[in-house]
Structure 1
Amino acid sequence: MSKLRQAAMRMSLAALGLAIACGQALAADLLIAMPNWPSGQAAANIIKYSIQEKFHLDVEVREMGTLIAFAGLDSGEVDIVPEVWLPNFDSLVKKYVDERKTVRLSPRGVQATQGICVTRETADKYGVRDILDLTDPKKSAVFDTDGDGKGEIWIGAQTWTSTDIEKIRAKSYGYAKTMTLLQMPEDVAMAAVDSAVATGQPIVFYCYTPHHVFQLHDIVQLTEPKHDPAKWKVVLPSDDPQWLSKSDAPVAWDASHFSIGFGSAMADRLPKVAAFLSNIDFTPEEITQMSYALQVDRQDPAKFAQDWIAKHEDRLRAWSK
């Protein structure tokens, strides 16, 4: 090997060592996995700036999907997830919280609902009030915007666990045959709802509360058979490649809620931070305000969080006790 090549190799190794050292030096103390829905983005940033202010730790927020986030919690690479939805993430909670015990959930949660909604005008004008109305070709046809004979329904964003469950529900009820199941980012779907309301066009879509759409428009959730655990057989794609054929859910969602999740390794390392996270008690009204601020007012999540904290120092003090 020539001296020039040896020198070049030494320089490369030195540069690599410096990069690794700098990367380690710049690594944040905590990593929050931020979901891609507005309230989760706002909550992630509120948690970030609250911890930085109260515990003087460097906190990074990084957007990532649920499966990656839970794998990160399990390995210790991720420390916090701001919204762990149940029953959506039941299988993940069973695996990582109950069995592996690498993830913990805050004892405080926010009550929620999930289902399929239409605008009030859609319900009244077209008689679409029950989930099985979507299986009626005449009624489903009112949602046909591309002329293919099938209506369209937004069932969620591509990365959401609820979207896979909505596919199961559509198959189980039968409207997967009469409706095209659309997957798209939530802001695009909500813009379509805004447009439909403004123009008086019928629209049907996956909905959940707390959410600003119920504050912004007159929305009606379709009626469904009451939730029956014996009929709720949900297998997720991460669990089985034949998940859809093995699943069945011809009933309403169970009562839902979400809470903050955090890694057990972080809780053992920073027990005061874990206690702080367990004391956070967002209300449904606050979650709706977060959703409205980011989705409707287009506020930056970080700026919104900083302003929120400045107005709620009393809450931070209570969470720190």
Structure 2
Amino acid sequence: MRHRQEENPQRHSFHAGAMLAASIFIASGSAHSVQAADLVIAVPNWPSGQATANILKVAIGKNFGLTADLREMGELNAFSGLESGELDIHPEVWRPNLDAAIQKYVDEKKAVVLAKRAVAAWQGLCATEDAEKAGIKSVKDLSDPEKGALLDTDGDGRGELWIGAATWTSASIERVRALSYGYARNLTLVEAEEDVGMAAVDAAVATGRPMVFACYAPHNVFELHKVTRLEEPAYDPARWKIAPGSDPLWIEHSKADVAWPPSEFHIAWSTSFGAKHADIAAFLEKVDLTPEEVTAMTYALQVERTPPADYAEKWVAENAARIQGWAKP
């Protein structure tokens, strides 16, 4: 869907987490530690990525007889894991968000393969109906202190704008855009997990409070609420200059005062995995999810609170013939 260069540290107790992990390991017995999975699939921290990771796990298990571990992992760490062999498949690699990583690991190092098929997508900023009625229709309106104050939720006089999860590349690009357009001067940019951001949208709509937030499609928010994309200048490559992540001051050295470029996302896998399992690589090339299916995934996981594993089992059962077609040589 998302640019911190590192994984965002969990805000829970490390000691409690370590104790829980240890107890689970002990209770699981030695069989699990001896029987390693055949492959590892990354699990992003957004709904469609979580659903797709689980769907791939179930589908590969049923059609190729291989077991898969699912591992939560940030975007950039995932590319490193694909190169090192720690990871085999990533279910949802967004462009242009990860173009720098794609250039490094796919084009230059040849360590990662990107599926040719992609799901069409878009990214930008959205306003609730109440925000639009209050006169917030364009990114220019966000630089107006009076209109920005309408987005204030904590009483400090500054509006808040959710830009995505801290580990999403898109969140940091939204920070670049806020600095480039100028509305970072009078709005507080909030980084939080998607569940938190979407719960804030639900609450804003329910209480009639104006809200502007980072948005992307395919996504269920457009099914749930009447939200509109803010107007902004059309994408111009001459005005979209994102510095490489290797630059410690890359945000300050970037500029993007136009709309996002056309976006899309792909499945990716490690070159070494594809060489060892050419049949699964061919299968991954044929996966052809539609934007409508991706929207349904996000709705099921985020709104209906369906566990990703349960959703995947049902989806694979309902699409068995189609998946078998993907698996055919």
| TM > 0.5 | yes
Q: Is residue 2:192 matched to residue 1:184?
A: yes
Match of 1:255 in 2: 262
1: CA distance, partners of 2:152 / 2:259: 25
Match of 1:279 in 2: 286
Q: Which runs of 4+ in 1 moved over 3 A?
A: 21-25
Q: Is residue 2:250 matched to residue 1:243?
A: yes
Match of 1:226 in 2: 234
Match of 1:114 in 2: 123
Amino acid of the structure 2 residue aligned with 1:310 = A
User: How far 1:207 moved relative to its partner?
Assistant: 0.1
Given that 2:143 and 2:186 are in contact with CA atoms closer than 8 Å, whether structure 1 keeps it comes out as yes
1: CA distance, partners of 2:223 / 2:81: 35
1: CA distance, partners of 2:129 / 2:223: 13
Unaligned segments of structure 2, at least 5 residues: 1-29
Given that 2:113 and 2:268 are in contact with CA atoms closer than 8 Å, whether structure 1 keeps it comes out as yes
Query: Over residues 281-320 of structure 1, what are the superposed CA-to-partner deviations in whole Å (9 max), with x where a residue is unaligned?
Result: 0000000000000000000000110011111112111211
2: CA distance, partners of 1:313 / 1:192: 37
Q: Is residue 2:49 matched to residue 1:36?
A: no
User: How far 1:26 moved relative to its partner?
Assistant: 2.2
Q: Is residue 2:159 matched to residue 1:156?
A: no
Given that 2:130 and 2:211 are in contact with CA atoms closer than 8 Å, whether structure 1 keeps it comes out as no
User: How far 1:172 moved relative to its partner?
Assistant: 0.2
Query: Over residues 204-249 of structure 1, what are the superposed CA-to-partner deviations in whole Å (9 max), with x where a residue is unaligned?
Result: 100000000001111100011010111111125x421111211100
| RMSD between aligned residues | 1.2
Match of 2:179 in 1: 171
User: How far 1:23 moved relative to its partner?
Assistant: 7.9
2: CA distance, partners of 1:285 / 1:233: 31
2: CA distance, partners of 1:132 / 1:101: 42
Q: Is residue 2:192 matched to residue 1:208?
A: no
Counterparts of residues 100-111 of structure 1 (less than 5 Å): 100-111=109-120
Amino acid of the structure 2 residue aligned with 1:174 = G
1: CA distance, partners of 2:33 / 2:192: 37
SS in structure 2 at match of 1:245? coil
Greater Cα radius of gyration, structure 1 or 2: 1
SS in structure 1 at match of 2:87? coil
Match of 1:84 in 2: 93
Query: Over residues 30-65 of structure 1, what are the superposed CA-to-partner deviations in whole Å (9 max), with x where a residue is unaligned?
Result: 100110000000000000000000000011111110
Q: Is residue 2:192 matched to residue 1:145?
A: no
SS in structure 2 at match of 1:193? helix
SS in structure 1 at match of 2:184? coil
- TM-score, normalised to structure 1's length? 0.91
Work out the percentage of aligned pairs sharing the same amino acid. Answer: 54
1: CA distance, partners of 2:181 / 2:57: 41
Amino acid of the structure 2 residue aligned with 1:163 = A
Amino acid of the structure 2 residue aligned with 1:313 = A
Q: Is residue 2:64 matched to residue 1:55?
A: yes
SS in structure 2 at match of 1:207? strand
User: How far 1:120 moved relative to its partner?
Assistant: 2.0
SS in structure 2 at match of 1:112? strand
2: CA distance, partners of 1:164 / 1:77: 26
SS in structure 2 at match of 1:246? coil
Given that 2:267 and 2:284 are in contact with CA atoms closer than 8 Å, whether structure 1 keeps it comes out as yes
User: How far 1:22 moved relative to its partner?
Assistant: 7.4
SS in structure 2 at match of 1:107? coil
Match of 1:266 in 2: 273
User: How far 1:193 moved relative to its partner?
Assistant: 0.5
SS in structure 2 at match of 1:159? coil
Query: Quick one: structure 1 residues 293 and 183, their matched pair in 2 at CA, closer, same or farther if it must change by over 3 Å?
Result: same
Of residues 264, 288, 295 in structure 1, which corresponds to 2:302?
A: 295
2: CA distance, partners of 1:230 / 1:142: 33
Unaligned segments of structure 1, at least 5 residues: 1-20
Which has the larger displacement, 26-35 or 279-288? 26-35
2: CA distance, partners of 1:208 / 1:282: 17
1: CA distance, partners of 2:224 / 2:272: 41
